[in-house]
Amino acid sequence: MNIDDIFELVNYISGKNQKGNITPDKFNLLVKSSNVEYKRFCLGQVEQFQYNNPKARVELGNNELVLSKLAPFIPPPASLTIDSTGNAPYPVDYQERIALYDSAGKKIRWVTQERLPSYLSDPIDPIATNPVYLLGKAGFLFYPVALGTAKLSYIQAGATPVRGYNVSGSILTFTNLIGGTLYADGTYQNVTLLGGYGVHAEATIVVSGGIVTSVTLSQSGGNFVVGDKLVTPNTNLGGVGSGFSIDVATVSNSQRSVYNPATSQDLLWKDVDQMEVIARILEKVGVNLIAQQVVQYANEIKNVGV
C-alpha cells in the first residue's frame, strides 16, 4: 500500500469505530511516531547482555525473524576507514549495528568501556589478533588503533513516512497563461475549465490574433488545488486552435486534501509489517486492533469500497 492507501484505511477504520476524522497533519504525526515505535520494537533494547558476551538484540536467537522484518532498512555493508587514533565515524544514515568485521572477514567484538582494560591486557586473547570496538558518540573506536579498515553491517534510519497533499478549494486567481494558436477571435462567456480534480469552474475568455489573451473567472468551482493546469476544448473557443492552458495560482474555501505523490514518502516496511504500524496509529486514536484485524478492514474496503 502507498501512504495514501494507509491514510484512507486509517480514516475508514476510525470512522467505523466512531472515533472521528483524522486530519492529514494529524495523520502525518501519527504515522511518523508509529513507524519509529514499531522499528524500536523490532530492534528491542539497544544492547542485550549475556555473561562476558554483550550483543546487539539483532544478533540473538530470533535474529533471522528480526532481520527479515528489518530487511528494507539494511543497506549493503559499509566500508569504514579507521584513522590513526582508532576512530571511524558512523555512516550518515546509521541507526543500529548488526555486526562489524575486519578486512579478513573476522567478526570484531564489541566491549564496554569498563571491560576494555581487561581485553587490552589479555595475553591469551590479544587484541592484535582479535580486535574489539567501543561505541562512541559520533562513531566507533577500534583496538588496535592501527586496524585501518572495517566492514559494517547495520540498520539505517530510513526515510520518514509522510502523506504529501495539496489543499483543494474554489479558484481565486490564475497564473501562467499559455495562449495557444489559431483560435477564432472573440469573447467567449461561461467557458468551462477542466483539469485536476476540480469541477464547475467557468471563465470569460478573450481571443485576439488567434491567441487567448485574457481569462476572467466567472464561476470559481470547487476541489481545485494550486498548480492544477486548466484547459478547455477548442469547441468552446470557435472550434479551431490548440495549446491554451492556464494554472490555478490560489484557492480558498478549503474543502479537502488531495494526495500529492510527488511530496509523499511511503512506508518502507513489507506489507505485513505495515499492518503493525497501522495498528499502532489506530491505538493512538483509541481503536485497539491487532494487525490481522487491520487486514480484514483493508479487505473490506477492497471488496465493497469505502
Residue 152 lies in a domain: yes
Same-domain check for residues 119 and 136? yes
Same-domain check for residues 213 and 281? no
* Residue 185: partners with Cβ closer than 8 Å, 6 or more residues away: 207, 208, 209, 210, 238
Same-domain check for residues 100 and 21? no
Same-domain check for residues 63 and 152? yes
Alpha-carbon span 211 to 206, nearest angstrom: 8
Domain assignment of residue 192, given as a range = 168-258
Count the alpha carbons within 13 Å of 271 in the hemisphere toward its beta carbon: 5
Q: Which three cell numbers stand for residue 79?
A: 566500508
Residue 190 lies in a domain: yes
Residue 72 lies in a domain: yes
Same-domain check for residues 202 and 240? yes
Same-domain check for residues 10 and 65? no
Alpha-carbon span 87 to 143, nearest angstrom: 9
How many structural domains is the chain composed of?
Answer: 3
Q: Which of 4, 2, 3, 18 is nearest to 256 (CA)?
A: 4
Look at residue 305 in the predicted model and tell me its pLDDT.
61
Same-domain check for residues 87 and 100? yes
Look at residue 140 in the predicted model and tell me its pLDDT.
97
Look at residue 306 in the predicted model and tell me its pLDDT.
55
Residue 227: what residue type?
G
Same-domain check for residues 211 and 230? yes
Q: pTM for this one?
A: 0.73
Alpha-carbon span 276 to 69, nearest angstrom: 11
Q: Which three cell numbers stand for residue 160?
A: 520518514
Per-residue pLDDT of the chain (306 residues), as tens digits, is: 999 999 999 999 998 888 888 999 999 999 999 999 999 888 874 344 444 444 544 444 456 777 888 999 999 999 999 999 999 999 999 998 989 999 889 999 999 899 899 888 888 878 888 899 999 999 999 999 999 999 999 999 999 999 999 889 999 999 999 999 999 999 999 999 999 888 999 999 999 999 999 999 999 999 899 999 999 999 999 999 999 999 999 998 676 788 999 999 999 999 999 999 999 999 999 999 888 888 888 888 777 665
* Residue 129: partners with Cβ closer than 8 Å, 6 or more residues away: none
Residue 163 lies in a domain: no
Q: How far is Cα of residue 259 from the mean position of the Cα atoms in its chain?
A: 13
Residue 152: what residue type?
L
Same-domain check for residues 101 and 131? yes
